[in-house]
Amino acid sequence: MARYYDGPVSDHFDGTRFFDPHGAQPRSVVDLIRWRLTGTRPSWPDRWPSPFSDRPPAEVSDKSWRISFLGHASLLLQTAGLNLLLDPVWSERVSPVSFAGPRRVNDPGIAFDALPPINAVLVSHCHYDHLDLPTLSRLAAAHRPRVITPLGNDAIMREHDPAIAAEAHDWGDRVPLPGDASVTLIPVQHWSARGLTDRNKALWAGFVIETPAGRILHVADSGYGEGYHFRTASERHGPLRLAILPIGAYEPRWFMRDQHMNPAEAVQAFRDCGAALALTHHHGTFPLADEAIDAPERALVEATAAAGIAPEQFRALRPGQVWQIDPAQTAVANMQRAWRKRPRPVNVVSSAAAYSAATAGRTGRSGSSTSSSCGSSRRLSLRSILSR
């Protein structure tokens, strides 16, 4: 049996396998077989090309964020001289073998040879649609980046190619990056495996990326669960300007619920973590589950509308599409968020006497002015909003 990590027992490692104290165990192999035999997977097109193709600059020198969506869970973040790849996959399939398994239906949003110099790579866990060994070998040969990953995944990488400069870290570890940035590994509700005998023998993680322009919460794969990890993210790491959240591979719910959020849960996670903006991923490239290729984006439109979230606050991109975010944009989004969360006005009472009685206990006197007392206590502080 594979063993990727030897270390002390902790609150999320029992000496052999990792676990999430606030999460759920992954479904069994029997459940996997049941899903494969009884699932009703809709037919995806053989090709679903994106109309976009990005050719990024060598770097972004200012504090703005340039985020290019490469497809599925792969993104390129450029800011303040940092070129950071997230879960890069350029392979045609995400599978243990090259001749079978889920095959991409669109090309990566950036051609590999068009990449800028890559400083660092974040790899969230060892599932094949996130840890792509051939891509990491290509990056090691062409760019020699640092590869930051949770405990145990470094052993998988080094066994494949010793040239991959893998660094393994635990939940809570903060790792400095170029461009006056850093990344902290955080718990998410998921699991890991490369085969049938190594389940949860490597750790999985989300990331809080700190940059001069603010913090980004990047969640590669996660179930929503009770929402614990999302509610505590900003409490532990500070206010978030952007949340990058998965919205695909969620059907059937009986099987996927504990490991993959659906779009409605992603919207709730966005609200829980308190980020100003959100960007989706984990959809539209590899057929991994039982929803249609465009179902995640359609469901996201419904979920954001129901939650009163503007489309420009929670965006879904196609491969090769770019989102340029500057601090002013996040400040506006924070004002919109604060407006949604504003205290609701008290109900108007029909009797002046009843109103005086109702407010006397709060103001210390009866007959106080509704405009002055309510307005001053409920007014939003623009300084506090912009400071987020």
CB 105: neighbour CB atoms within 10 A?
19
In tens, the pLDDT along 22-31 reads 998 888 888 8
The span from the CA of 259 to the CA of 31, in Å, is 14
Residue 348 has pLDDT above 60, yes or no: no
DSSP sequence for 176-221: EETTTEEEEEE--S----SSSS-TTSS---EEEEEETTEEEEE-SS
| Average pLDDT rounded to a whole number, residues 288-311 | 97
pLDDT of residue 335: 55
Question: What architecture (CATH level 2) is domain 52-335?
Answer: 4-Layer Sandwich (3.60)
Q: Residue 323: which pLDDT band, with cuts at 50, 70 and 90?
A: very high
| Average pLDDT rounded to a whole number, residues 301-323 | 97
In tens, the pLDDT along 26-48 reads 888 888 889 888 878 788 999 99
- In sequence order, the β-bridge partners of residue 173 are none
Residue type, 278: A
Torsion of CA 122, 182, 110, 244, to 10 degrees: 80
As a whole number, the mean pLDDT across the chain is 87
3-state helix, strand, coil in the chain (%, to 5): 30, 20, 50
In tens, the pLDDT along 80-129 reads 999 999 999 999 999 999 899 999 999 999 999 999 999 999 999 999 99
